[in-house]
Structure 1
Amino acid sequence: MHRNLQYLQRKHIDTQQWDRCIANAANGLLYAHSFYLDYMAGNWDALVLGDYEAVMPLTWRKKWGIRYVYRPAFIQQLGIFTGTELTVELVNRFLNELPAHFRFADFFLNYAHPQTGLPGHSNFLLPLQLSYEQLRANYKHDLVKNLKRTSRFNLLYSKENTYKESLAAFRDLYGNRIAHVTDDDYSRFEKVLAYLNERNNLVARSVTEDGKLLSKGMLLRDKHRLYLIASVTWPEGRNKGANHFLIDRLIDEFAGSSLVLDFEGSDIPGIAHFYKNFGSFDQPYYHFYYNKLPWPVRLLK
């Protein structure tokens, strides 16, 4: 393999070629597009193979004069993206180049990496190509039972355009569970939502009963996936199965499309069980880490 692998600073990356590579990659993901990285990462550079045949975004920070690769908030997985086959040889070529530029790295490689021995993390997907009736036939028994129970209530599923309120509600109810996400992260992510909303690639839905808000879901859309980036269910909504109802109605709305519903996780058993109930499958992604920091700094990280 003689194609040149080069390290490029963000200012030297051809944004048009970059986004074309991500869009055409068999494993392309929304998080890897330049606009998403520009908003969510304080800094990012990249490893680029040949004429943008394969690319690897490197989101980095600097502390004590030492640069390190990290995972920004609201970015689940990155790694190498390519329209050609992602082989073990190609993966190793990219990963072996990293220590020449960074002393420390802690981030997630996307699902397509043929890497063995790395810790896997669950991410559940549901292809939506079939009809709603066919998709519903794959629902697990306890989900069908819960959905039958929701019919006792006057639940209403509706479209909305209130991403700011949805993000604020998510932060209010669940922010303590992801305490590492900072004010700056939320501010940056709101800009991502605004960008996608302007391009009709933001899907916001809610469940109400007699005008009272019970559950909200916010999804990001590209040409392949609907990413369930944030969902919120209030206590009364949980009692009435509003979250089950919300996802079921989403599936009904987008059934028969070419999209895949990406649940965005999870390793938490209860949440994983909830997603599996809809007939989804696990497409794991992988944790990549190394520490080549000088000796006493190594002990602190």
Structure 2
Amino acid sequence: MIRRLKYHEIDFVKYSQCLDNSEQRKYSATKEFLNITAPNQWEILVYNDYEAVMPVPFVRKYGVKIVHNPKLCQQLGVFSAKDDVKVNEQFLDYLENYYLVRVYPFNDGNELHTKLRMKKNFLIYPEAYDKVYARYSPKRKRKLRLDEEVLNHSEIRTVSYNEMKLFIECNMLGLSKENDLAGFMKIYETSYHLKYLRFLAFYYHDKMINAIAVYSDCNMVALLGTFSDKEYVKLSGASVLIDQIIKETIETHIFDFEGGDIPNIEEFFRGFRPELKPYGIIEYSKKDLFKKLGSLLLKGRLF
């Protein structure tokens, strides 16, 4: 049986145990990460006595609760000791019939009979760094061989949020609204102060020209941001930084590239020879939401 629990009703000890023992374990479903990315705006669906759980983040528009994936949260879905397609379908059915869903992602470990739109993601699993590096594409290896002048006048530094803030604001691409940037920056700042997020920067002639943000938890290291000064893109600082993080962590942690649907980004990630791990996503237009709202209200099902 599936139950819906509001945030204050969740037994977080049982919830965390379910996540920790799950076949689909992801940092993005933890209480800590969701409290950062969707503070006070998420609840869960529970199967029996926490045999399986499904976190459900939401936003409120005109007093109506709408399921929507938070910024920087790529995958959620069902978490259980063993993935069960029948249980997954029950969760999906419950979500579709009792919520207004704008965007909701399952995870790469969830099998479903229902056909969902698939999105790409790439992972590198724990292994000796030498073996991981040996699989890099010839092009990526060339990019990592810096010429002597760059090598002599560059360095990698771990930097603070305050040192990174302006660089991110000036070099974050793809944002449609000013408040989007504020939302991202709040997540970066909070994650950094809670010691989940690390910033690594590539300096050339004492100037920051590339930086990455990586989130670490649940034996995963996730790439939550890549920022580059366009004037220095040919110096391959982003490749150097990602390779450095992989070198430091890959023996014990999964490296999660957190994306790959944009063609040039996919090409860049594939140079590290990761494994493609697609995941399903539910997505409805605003027009579809208005249609469904009336139906749910008539049935008395809208939470």
Q: Shorter-chain TM-score: what band?
A: 0.7 to 0.9
Contact 2:76 2:105 in 1 (8 A): yes
Tell me by how many angstroms 1:271 deviates: 0.9
Tell me by how many angstroms 1:159 deviates: 4.0
Matches within 5 A, 1:227-266: 227-255=222-250, 257-266=251-260
1:145 aligned partner: 142
Matches within 5 A, 1:1-301: 4-42=1-39, 43-83=41-81, 85-116=82-113, 117-130=115-128, 132-154=129-151, 156-177=154-175, 179=177, 181=180, 183-195=182-194, 197=195, 201-255=196-250, 257-289=251-283, 291=288, 293-294=290-291
**TM-score scaled to structure 1, two decimals?**
0.86
Query: For residue 54 of structure 1, what is the amino acid of its counterpart?
Result: A
Tell me by how many angstroms 1:218 deviates: 1.5
Tell me by how many angstroms 1:64 deviates: 3.3
Tell me by how many angstroms 1:95 deviates: 1.1
Runs (5+) with no aligned partner, structure 1 = none
Local SS of the residue matching 1:237: helix
Tell me by how many angstroms 1:182 deviates: 5.1
Query: For residue 181 of structure 1, what is the amino acid of its counterpart?
Result: D
Give the RMSD, CA atoms, in angstroms.
Answer: 2.4
Q: Deviations over 1:73-104 (max 9, x none)?
A: 11111111112x22221111111112443133
Local SS of the residue matching 1:67: strand
- 2: CA distance between counterparts of 1:167 and 1:79? 32
Contact 1:70 1:106 in 2 (8 A): yes
Local SS of the residue matching 2:95: helix
**Bigger shift: residues 89-98 or 240-249:** 240-249
What is the identity percentage for the equivalent residue pairs of Structure 1 and Structure 2?
Answer: 23
- 2: CA distance between counterparts of 1:185 and 1:140? 32
- 1: CA distance between counterparts of 2:24 and 2:148? 39
Aligned positions, number: 288
Query: For residue 111 of structure 1, what is the amino acid of its counterpart?
Result: D
Query: For residue 120 of structure 2, what is the amino acid of its counterpart?
Result: S
- 2: CA distance between counterparts of 1:185 and 1:242? 22
- 2: CA distance between counterparts of 1:243 and 1:292? 39
Contact 1:150 1:240 in 2 (8 A): no
Tell me by how many angstroms 1:27 deviates: 1.2
- 2: CA distance between counterparts of 1:151 and 1:178? 40
Local SS of the residue matching 2:258: coil
Query: For residue 136 of structure 1, what is the amino acid of its counterpart?
Result: Y
Structure 1 residues 240 and 185: alpha-carbon distance in aligned structure 2, compared to 1, 3 A threshold: closer
Query: For residue 98 of structure 1, what is the amino acid of its counterpart?
Result: L
Contact 1:70 1:105 in 2 (8 A): yes
- 2: CA distance between counterparts of 1:96 and 1:190? 36
Tell me by how many angstroms 1:184 deviates: 4.0
Tell me by how many angstroms 1:150 deviates: 4.3
Runs (5+) with no aligned partner, structure 2 = 296-303
- 2: CA distance between counterparts of 1:202 and 1:192? 5
